[in-house]
Amino acid sequence: MSAVVAEVVALPASELIDRLSSIGGPEATRAREAPSTGGDFPDLVGAVPGKVVLRLAPFPSGALHIGHGRMLFINQHYREKYDGKILLVFDDTIGSEEKRVETEFFGLIEKDLEAAGVRPDAVFYKSDRIANFYPWARRVIDKGGAYVCTCPAELLRENRARGAACAHRSQTRDETIEEWERMLANAYGPGEAVLRLRTDLADPDPAFRDRVLLRISDIDHPRVGTKYRVWPMLEFSWAVDDIELGITHVLRGKDLVIEDRMQRYIWDLLGITGPPFLHWGILRVREAKVAKSKAYREVKSGLFDGWADPRTWSLLSLDRRGISMDAIRSFILSFGMSLSDIEVPAETLYAENRKRIDGTTVRRAFVADPVRVEVDEFPDGLSSVVLSNHPDRPELGTRTVSTGPGFFLARKDLEGRAGTEVRLKDLVNVELPALLPPAGGTIRARFTSRENKRIPRLQWVGASGARPVDILGMEGEHTAGLGEATLAEAHPGDILQFERVGFVRVEKNWTPGASPLRVVFGHP
RNA sequence: GCUCCCGUAGUCUAGUCCGGUCAAGGAUUCGGGGCCUUCGACCCCGUAACGCGGGUUCGAAUCCCGCCGGGAGCACCA
């Protein structure tokens, strides 16, 4: 029975509703009326459970970031809903000078997917499939749907804006075939000739007028080198591969809407019925200001600490900060398939993560910029104290830490409190001296009482056994401080809450005399 | 400028297709209180929204028209 309950509790609300509805009865009604916390995901038209095939198509030029996360988790959501398959298709056509394919990112992206728990059912590389695009191009040409244009790119653009035809547009089909063969036979250099789709120059959408299907590039591809010179554009390659790979539903960002129309246009021309398209809007996390290209530069230059640097906001970096993929998934799915562009504060993601870790995360004391405080008249026999690991969760146990008379307090906590009585949290009350010391100095405070007074309560670390700690912050900055002695037992991967600082993830354990405890700041 | 898309509280979202059960639900933020985690955890309570103007209707967040605002595309990038 309990196993059944656990299973039901673990189900996403949408699936719960589906299942209850299939059972029928009053439960179904209640579930349907229950308020939804998540976003809305429409049914996929024509989807047959077990037969749905989706695809992820990243361009290997960087680590996946939270925006890509939306692609990942939406596809994953539908895969689960319909018991479908997900193909990972690296969109590694030749790109451009600015946007290059790099080998290292194939592995990195597969790692990202694994971390996200999205296991593709198969992996493909566009670059393996280039030759196959040529006969398809020929089919389009045979239908009279394309022509070879040798206009310079700028002229092509101008004509497109004006809706003007160039001389090449009136090519006969045979001429096009001949020119196309010449393109394939290396008669043209890069930029000298392209195969263009013949749409309608009067099309109201200037973006849709005679777009380019294939072009010539001599860029050295990391997987296939210079084996091919004629490369497909994204739209054409997908017009082919969405059919060849048997994709049943294309889910993509709304920046790609015009590509839908291109693909459909080509399919109509060839008498093919392709899959339907669904889109989502742009998702931005307010704090994630670093653009992908900048992150790329900073990682390359070494200014950032690799793709897991917190400043990249890559999925890898969030994992490093102890933000679970499950939290990221819920966060992302809460936006549904909305087409409006959204900017959401990172706090919303943090809240999602907190729900998962707060109840199970032990509390530890840490003070930044520590000031040594000697407490005069500190009670004899109070050499240690038993503290709860979690204020509301006794089941998380306790730990014993050694106390005074020597302590470290955070300088920030001391500021403005000279000469006042404060409480060392969970311990004793002391009176601070009238003057605070310069950096590195020691102050003497005086023990006053042990009663629980409602006065400012300060975080403290017992001087005996205090461990050095280094926190890597979200801006890549390091904060040095001291933590309680129990931190000697913290291991890489542990998630802790430094009280009044925030949740951190341990990256490197403390080693006597060699290394401080290194942690990465997660979130408040 | 042209094309397409989107407008529910500070932010995100449910509801809009099939008008009444929505004097609009949830999350987060914010405010107040609690707490030996004060600011920034956690718990409790609370504030807060249908972009504007017309129309249809007994009745509109939901349907129609106009306006305004925001975004994306207009690359031989993806």
pLDDT tens digit sequence for A329-356:
999 999 998 888 888 999 999 999 999 9
Q: Which nucleotide's C1' sits nearest to the alpha carbon of A203?
A: B3
Whole-number Å distance between alpha carbons of A402 and A383: 6
Alpha-carbon span A370 to A501, nearest angstrom: 14
Residue A56, CA distances (Å) to A17, A213, A401 in order: 27, 21, 51
Spatial neighbors of A510 by CB under 8 A, at least 6 apart, are: A467, A468, A469, A487, A488, A490, A516, A517
Judge whether residue A40 contacts strand B, using its CB and a 7 Å cut-off.
yes
- DSSP tag of A427: S
Q: Are A374 and A442 in contact (CB under 8 A)?
A: yes
All CATH 2.40.240.10 domain ranges of chain A, comma separated, are 364-462
For nucleotide B72, the protein residue with its alpha carbon nearest to C1' is A255
**Pairwise CA distance, residues A132 & A471, whole Å:** 52
Please report the pLDDT score of residue A506 as a whole number. 94
- pLDDT of A28 reads 28
Residue type, A154: E
Chain A window 203-242: residues with CB closer than 7 Å to nucleic chain B are 204-207, 211-212, 215-217, 231, 233-234
Distance A10 CA to B18 C1' (A): 32
A482 is written with which tokens? 């001291």
Q: How far is CA A233 from CA A178, A230, A262, in A?
A: 21, 10, 11
By C-alpha to C1' distance, B11 is nearest to A344
**Alpha-carbon gap, residue A337 to A281, rounded angstroms:** 8
Q: Count the neighbouring beta carbons within 10 Å of the beta carbon of residue A319.
A: 17
The ipTM estimated for the assembled molecules is: 0.90
CB of A161 nearer than 7 A to strand B = yes
- Nearest nucleotide to A35 (CA to C1') is B25
**C-alpha distances out from residue A379 to A8, A216, A334, A448, A454, Å:** 54, 83, 54, 10, 20
Nearest C-alpha neighbor of A476 from the set A228, A306, A233, A255: A306
d(CA A462, CA A404): 6
Cβ A255 to strand B below 7 Å: yes
- The span from the CA of A233 to the CA of A215, in Å, is 7
- Report CA(A249)–C1'(B65) in Å, whole number: 35
> Which protein residue lies nearest to nucleotide B21, measured between its Cα and the C1' atom?
A33
Cβ within 7 Å of strand B: which of A 104-133? none
For residues A248 and A26, the model is more confident at A248
pLDDT of residue A359: 85
Report the CATH number of the A467-523 domain.
2.40.240.100
What is the model's pLDDT at position A263? 95
Q: How far apart are CA A407 and CA A466, in angstroms?
A: 9
> Does domain A364-462 correspond to CATH entry 2.40.240.10?
yes
pLDDT tens for each residue of A403-438? 878 889 888 888 778 778 888 888 888 888 777 766
List Cβ neighbours of A480 (8 Å cut-off, separation of 6 or more).
A368, A369, A468, A469, A470, A471, A516
Q: Protein A434 CA to nucleic acid B29 C1', in Å?
A: 39
pLDDT digits 0-9 by tens, A48-103:
999 999 999 999 888 898 889 999 999 999 999 999 999 999 999 998 888 889 99
Length A35 CA → B45 C1' (Å): 21
**Residues 302-361 (A) near nucleic chain B, CB < 7 A:** 334-336, 338-345, 347-348, 351-352, 354-355, 358
Say yes or no: Cβ of A259 under 7 A from any atom of strand B.
Answer: yes
| Per-residue CA distances from A393 to A90, A358, A362, A398, A504 (Å) | 46, 10, 9, 10, 19
Closest residue (CA) to C1' of nucleotide B3 is A205
Which positions on strand B lie below 7 Å from a protein C-beta? Answer: 1-8, 10-15, 25-29, 35-42, 70-78
Residue A195 CA: distances (Å) to CA of A131, A183, A230: 15, 9, 10
State how far the Cα of A406 lies from the Cα of A485, in Å rounded to an integer.
Answer: 13
Parts of chain A belonging to CATH 2.40.240.100: 467-523
**Rounded Cα gap, residues A187 and A183, in angstroms:** 6
pLDDT tens digits, A350-397: 999 999 998 889 999 999 888 888 888 887 878 888 888 888 888 888
Residue A253 · residue A283 · CB < 8 Å:
no
Report helix, strand or coil for A269: helix
Q: How far is the CA of A15 from the C1' of B52 (A)?
A: 39
Query: Which two three-digit tokens encode residue A272?
Result: 């093919």
Is residue A505 within 8 A of residue A494, CB to CB? The reply is yes
Determine the nucleotide nearest to A188 by Cα–C1' distance: B76
